[in-house]
Chain A
Amino acid sequence: EPEVTQTPSHQVTQMGQEVILRCVPISNHLYFYWYRQILGQKVEFLVSFYNNEISEKSEIFDDQFSVERPDGSNFTLKIRSTKLEDSAMYFCASSTTNTQYFGPGTRLTVL
């Protein structure tokens, strides 16, 4: 059964550094998403992406964040200058209809 994959599973970085989180959505899906879950808190929507552009973004998704689909398979989330409060689990999801399928997540730790 096809699934969403994410790499790396765990990323440790220093505050102020740039990180890129990678996702490979399910191949025939058209919508792509990033969510995050700060430890002990609920899952929060960050951004949705369709037809090579951002469909919608939350207040969390400020100028420090960007998304890209550099080729036909990958979907990336870039954080330009990480802050301590960016430490969280980041989930990628994809969908064709209104059902989203999630990857296993990348745990980002900012020191």
Chain B
Amino acid sequence: AQSVTQLDSHVSVSEGTPVLLRCNYSSSYSPSLFWYVQHPNKGLQLLLKYTSAATLVKGINGFEAEFKKSETSFHLTKPSAHMSDAAEYFCVVSDQTGANNLFFGTGTRLTVIP
């Protein structure tokens, strides 16, 4: 069975400082992993994905994530937070069946302090 654990329900950073949102996964096989972002009253937007190619994945808006099999982690980082980054972030794993159903973590709310 596939699952993800987001270790922090809420992260608060100052504008211009680095962002780290942590995610650990559990999967029976080599997983496909994603980060989605949800801004207030908006839908889910794909930030980036890992699908067994390069372990360091670059996404939109300056975010990136590194797949570490030995640590079963897929943490999301950004060198410098912007006010517009304030949102809910979801780490997601695919079940790798034909339909590739997604299983979401509980989310991390990122607050950016001016």
Contact = CB atoms under 8 A, between A and B. Distances in A.
Interface of A: 31, 33, 35, 41-45, 48, 50, 55-56, 91, 93, 95, 97-105
Contacts, number: 60
A98 to B, nearest CB: 4
B26 interface: no
Size category of the binding interface on chain B? 20 to 34
Interface of A is mostly: strand
Given A42-B105, A42-B107, A98-B32, A104 B43 contact: yes
Contact of B101 (A56, A99, A104): A56
Contact of B49 (A31, A50, A99): A99
Interface string B70-114: 000000000000000000001000101111111111110000000
Interface of B: 32, 34, 36, 42-46, 49, 51, 90, 94, 96-107
Given A98-B94, A99-B49, A105-B43, A31 B102 contact: no
A67 to B, nearest CB: 13
10 contacts: A41-B106, A43-B44, A43-B90, A45-B101, A48-B101, A55-B97, A98-B94, A99-B34, A99-B46, A101-B46
